[in-house]
Amino acid sequence: MTSFVAFPDIHDKPKLLKKIRHVIADVDVVLLAGDMTNGNVENLHTIIDMIENYNEQIYAVCGNMDTVEMNMFLAREQISIHRKHVIVDDIAILGCGGALPFYGRYVFSEEELGGFLDDSLKGVPDDMPKILVCHQPPYDTKMDLPSRSDNHVGSKAVREFIERVQPLICFTGHMHECVTIDTIGKTKIINPGPIWQSNKYAYAEIEDGEVKTLEIREVEALDLGTR
């Protein structure tokens, strides 16, 4: 069994990660689904260093508030999975960073996002279990409907990719208020919201090519008991 935690939209507010350091230390893989910062690469160094104190197997994509320089840093550290994949325990972890044009500088067109997603799949066997880490949520789901609007704002390219490839899970973020789990075909899509705002994170377990656990969990400090 392979276990994962995912944190989208940390936005320079990683304090609560220390509260669940026992969780981070116990899982196999830590996933960062974009917007780790608000554009400061030094702050990204701090966040990565903090997480690496508990778990060194980190994979990340940048969000719209991150920058090209941040992706370059993550690539040098062998953490970035933007436009590529890594294989852990016979599971391919695919990555697509950025978002549709919005606030921030790390934004792309639908065509570009579709190209990034296809790049991430190159060389992955068709029958290998896959998960996707994508900051931009797919179109027409519970993840892309702002609270004050009836208009879906997700990516049609991301949705098309999920419909075609059917990864086991898509870890996403970007829409802070859309804290939920949804499905496209056989794919489970999860956004726990920013940990500093929702007090939640995503947790998953995969075994024998199947999702055994997928939950949005509350941040709970380790109970050391009393003596």
The CATH code of the domain that includes 161 is 3.60.21.10
For residue 156, give the H/E element and its range: helix 156-165
Per-residue confidence (pLDDT) for residue 40, from 0 to 100: 87
At residue 98 the predicted structure's pLDDT band, cuts being 50, 70 and 90, is very high
Per-residue confidence (pLDDT) for residue 225, from 0 to 100: 52
This prediction has a pTM of: 0.94
Residue 184 lies in a domain: yes
Distances (CA, A) of 200 to 180, 219, 222: 11, 5, 15
Residue 6 lies in a domain: yes
Report yes or no: 138 and 144 within 8 Å, Cβ to Cβ.
yes
At residue 147 the predicted structure's pLDDT band, cuts being 50, 70 and 90, is low
pLDDT for 226 beyond 60: no
pLDDT for 222 beyond 80: no
Residue 103: phi, psi to the nearest 5? -65, 155
Residue 193 lies in a domain: yes
Higher pLDDT among residues 151 and 84, named by residue: 84
Residue 224 lies in a domain: no
Q: What is the pLDDT of residues 149-186, one digit of tens each?
A: 678 888 999 999 999 999 999 999 998 888 999 999 99
Q: Both ends of the chain: CA-CA distance in Å?
A: 34
Residue 227 lies in a domain: no
Residue 177 lies in a domain: yes
What range does the domain containing 67 cover? 2-218
Handedness of CA 188, 155, 69, 37 (dihedral sign): negative
Q: What is the pLDDT of residues 122-138, one digit of tens each?
A: 999 999 999 999 999 99
Residue 225 lies in a domain: no
pLDDT for 227 beyond 50: no
Tell me which residue has tokens 């950025």.
Answer: 98
Number of domains in the chain: 1
Per-residue confidence (pLDDT) for residue 104, from 0 to 100: 86
Q: What is the pLDDT of residues 4-29, one digit of tens each?
A: 999 999 999 999 999 999 999 999 99
Residue 226 lies in a domain: no
